[in-house]
A and B are shown apart, each in its own frame.
Chain A
Amino acid sequence: MKLITRFIIIYLTITVIVLGIGGVISYELIKTEVDKELQFEFMERIDRVAYLIERGRDFHRSRRGREIEGDQNLIIERLDYEVEPRIEVKDTLIWHDRLEQNESNVKVSAYRNINGESYYISTYGAMIESDDITEAVVKTFLWILGLQILGAIGIGYFVSGPLFKPFRESLKKIKRFKLQEKQYIPAEETGVVEFNEMNAFVEEMTRKAVSDYENLKEFAENASHEIQTPLAIARGKLELLSETELNEEQYSYVDSLERTVKKLSRLSESLALLTKIDNHEFDNGKTVNISEFIEESISQFSEFLALRNLSLETSVEENVEVYIHPVLADILWTNLFQNAIKHNIDGGTIKIKLTREKLSISNTGRKPTVDPDKLFERFQKADQSSDSIGLGLSIIKRIVEQNDYTIAYSYSDGWHTIEILLNGVKGNQLQN
């Protein structure tokens, strides 16, 4: 739900509650005020009747003098007993003929001693029917509510429009922010304190993220270079050691150490390569004829194919050109091909298919033990015990991403297939 929708809902809910309470209060206030006026009016009328009686006007002809003074509800009775003069004000329900319901009326009754006789004078009535009050109040308040809704929607449009524009702009920039581009988000003056604070914070945060990222990258690159010199020393020492008189056991240790050192060095080289790709050091591509590229590499790999007795089926369209850094093209293809050899079974097959849209390489092999989605993550190995360092596929993936290609891996019926959609055609079903 949008913030502004939520705001309007809360606002209107409160408005309805407030108007409801306000309506009840208004009704009560109006009614009280009207009743008070009515009381005064009735008392004055009674006083007038009393005055007329005092003056000798005789109301006795009609015991219930309805016509008197134009007041149909006036009642004058002479009482046979002594009364204490007093006035009583009551709310009473009177049957209303036309509305066919009981109506709340004000009734004022007075007991008076006039010229030595006791009288009961009373009248009742309602200036406005309570239904009418309710109706008026409800109508008024519905009007107010209607205007409030219009106002709220208007404010909503304004708030989500011009008022929140700086917020949306900032949000757009944050969404577009890519750490690899190393561009922090500069804070813009918005004229609103909260937005300014937010923008300042975003600037500070992105600056920090960018600088941390750079430091990390630099560290990773330096570390992987710095590590090569000690490794070279270790390697040299092992080679010198292997020239001394060693027995078989000692020599096997030296050999195993040599391999470990080599593996370590490969590992740090691969990490350095990933870092370089991330650092956009290979952004200047050029047009590479991958058809030729693949044909050439096949001869280079032929020995390895022969060793494992692998057969190769190729279907390579001629002169397929892509725009890529040649070094990356080499690494990408070498890794793919090596992968297909490494994870193959002896006597298996490798299929290479290249069209203008798509490069796919399939190989026979055992069912993967790793979740295919995780296959492209760093240090994921199909076989944990294997000698590989587990960076090949993540290097492939980084190169693919860097060049806006799409890569997908699938396994079915003993075939592992890696497909790369070329020319930045963003695949949908193949999107990994």
Chain B
Amino acid sequence: MKILIVEDNTELLQNMVTYLEREGYRCERAASYDEGFDKVMSYTYDAVLIDIMLPGGNGLQLLRELKSVRPETGTIIISAKNSLDDKVEGLDLGADDYLTKPFQLPELQARIKAVNRRNNLGGKEIIRINEISLNTQTREVFVNDTLVDLTPKEYDLMLYFVSNKNRVLSKQNIAEHLWGDYVDQLDNLDFVYQHIKNLRKKLVKNGAEDYIESIYSIGYKLNDRLSRA
């Protein structure tokens, strides 16, 4: 998958590129409005990430230009401003998602995958992890064709793991993904542990391997290359 990242802050750009390239994405960079404009006009991308505040212009304008020539491109706006107006305008212009800095890289990756799924796969995708499969349209999880009865939160958690497989996700990170702004409440992140415990139990009960590894009881990782005897 080919992604263009338009972001003037090189460090932040580097973070995103490093993280996404590990996933196997091909990332191109643009550090200014003009550079970004040049690239979106010349090439096609599966997804374009656009920062709103850019040297030489506004990211929303770039989005407008992009949508006028290639409306099918998946777009995510990245902004330092948690501004409702920007968000509404961005989404009105056809952006697929809106992320506020400081976002989490696993969250970014999950959003890119969701955008890609929606735009390129018509929202339909069956994601497979060995014997487990996720139907993203019906939001169902199967283990060897047996439907696993998951709560919506557990499904979200599973999808998040799958979107970031073989990566470490901290409890904090998971909590933010699942509850967003309400995460303030989670003074103790045992709540995350509860959800993960339930998810694992349900998967194992239906005959799946336990792919979710606990990392020093601080974070978790869905490891599909599990080599258990």
Contact = CB atoms under 8 A, between A and B. Distances in A.
Nearest to B19: A240
A269 B219 contact: no
B197 interface: no
A237 B101 contact: no
A226 interface: yes
A424 B153 CA distance: 40
Interface stretch (B61-69, B117-125, B181-189): B181-189
B104 A235 contact: yes
Nearest to A272: B82
A240 B105 contact: yes
B105 A236 contact: yes
A182 interface: no
Interface in A356-401: 386-388
A12 to B, nearest CB: 66
Contacts of B16: 236
Given A242-B219, A300-B182, A304-B185, A229 B101 contact: yes
A251 interface: yes
B104 A259 contact: no
Interface string A215-252: 00000000001101101111111011011000010011
A265 interface: yes
A-side binding surface: helix, strand, loop or mixed? helix
Interface in B130-175: 153, 167-168, 170-173
A421 interface: no
Interface string B194-229: 100000000000000000000110110000000000
A255 interface: yes
B17 to A, nearest CB: 10
B106 interface: yes
A342 interface: yes
B218 A237 contact: no
A303 interface: yes
Contact of A252 (B11, B12, B216): B216
Interface residues of A, number: 40
A419 interface: no
A240 B15 contact: yes
Contacts of A304: 182, 185, 191
A341 B185 contact: yes
A300 to B, nearest CB: 7
Nearest to A297: B182
B80 interface: yes
Contacts of B106: 239
B24 interface: no
Interface in A237-286: 237, 239-240, 242-243, 248, 251-252, 255, 258-259, 261-262, 265-266, 269, 272
A327 interface: yes
A113 interface: no
A232 B187 contact: no
Contacts of B103: 232, 235
A377 B187 CA distance: 22
B56 interface: no
B9 A233 contact: yes
Interface string B82-117: 101000000000000000111111100000000000
A126 B191 CA distance: 116
A236 B15 contact: yes
A342 B19 contact: no
B81 interface: yes
A211 interface: no
Interface in A26-54: none
A291 interface: no
B60 to A, nearest CB: 16
A9 B101 CA distance: 68
B176 interface: yes
A243 B167 contact: yes
Interface string B1-45: 000000001011001101100100000000000000000000000
B170 A229 contact: no
Interface of B: 9, 11-12, 15-16, 18-19, 22, 80-82, 84, 100-106, 153, 167-168, 170-173, 176, 179, 181-182, 184-185, 187, 190-191, 194, 215-216, 218-219
Interface of A: 225-226, 228-229, 231-237, 239-240, 242-243, 248, 251-252, 255, 258-259, 261-262, 265-266, 269, 272, 300-301, 303-304, 307, 327, 334, 338, 341-342, 386-388
Q: Which 8 A-B pairs have the closest CB atoms?
A: A236-B15, A232-B102, A232-B101, A228-B80, A231-B102, A228-B101, A248-B216, A233-B11
11 contacts: A232-B80, A232-B101, A239-B15, A248-B216, A251-B216, A255-B218, A261-B102, A304-B182, A338-B185, A342-B185, A386-B187
